[in-house]
Amino acid sequence: MITKGSSMDQTGRFLEELFKMNYDRLFRYCMVKLDSDKQAAADCVGDVFLIAKNKAELLMQHPDPVGFLNKTAVNCCRNHAKYRRRRLRRFVSLDAFMDRIGFSGEPGALPPPDPLADQPRLSPEELEKLRAEVLSELTEEEHELYLMHYEEGLGFDAVGEKLGVSPNAARMRVFRLSDRLRTAAKERISGAEADKEGRKER
């Protein structure tokens, strides 16, 4: 008899194995489709595996899980390319650009996008409050990983070296952290919006 706990463990092992076997191949594909933009490719692959995680139970029964990943990667690349074209139309001042360059932990490179920053519905004050609340719930190790990857802008090789793990293991940890941050942010925003609606009805 498979218990709930063992079922969750089995799902976790399935996703981790899928991640290990397909990450590098999907990353190379995304690099080609996104003009060798490493960060964009990494974000795309992260989105692919986030979708896979959210559909894990169905994916375990899928006749071709790898084919599902491939198709999802194609769609993610298309969406990312459209988003990037929209962003390129926006005017970015030289001062703001130089500030971002200086913020990076690697010369000439921009820090990776913070999963907590992409919340267009929030004001700057609300966004700062959300970030503080979500980060306060992280473990010490997760907070250290957040600082290294999202604030210092360190890549997977550098993060792995600091943590004493392989680059692939560092990728997996960042993927899990990103998933947790996005989920926590979504839950808090949904809860806040529900509270606002409740107050309006009174």
CA 98, CA 101: separation in Å to the nearest integer?
A: 5
**From CA 54, how far away is CA 161, in angstroms rounded?**
30
Token duo for residue 158: 């550098």
The whole-number pLDDT of residue 198 equals: 59
Whether the predicted model's global pTM rises above the 0.85 cut: no
Q: Residue 69's pLDDT is what?
A: 92
Which pLDDT score is estimated for 74?
A: 92
Gap between the Cα atoms of 41 and 105, Å rounded: 19
Angle at 109 between CA 108 and CA 112, to 5 degrees: 165
Q: Average pLDDT for consecutive 10-residue bins of the chain (202 residues)?
A: 53 86 90 83 85 88 91 88 61 41 41 66 77 87 89 86 85 83 82 62 59
Q: What is the DSSP string of 149-174?
A: IIIS---HHHHHHHHTS-HHHHHHHH
DSSP string of 18-61, one letter each residue:
HHHHHHHHHHHHHHHHTTT-HHHHHHHHHHHHHHHHHTHHHHHT
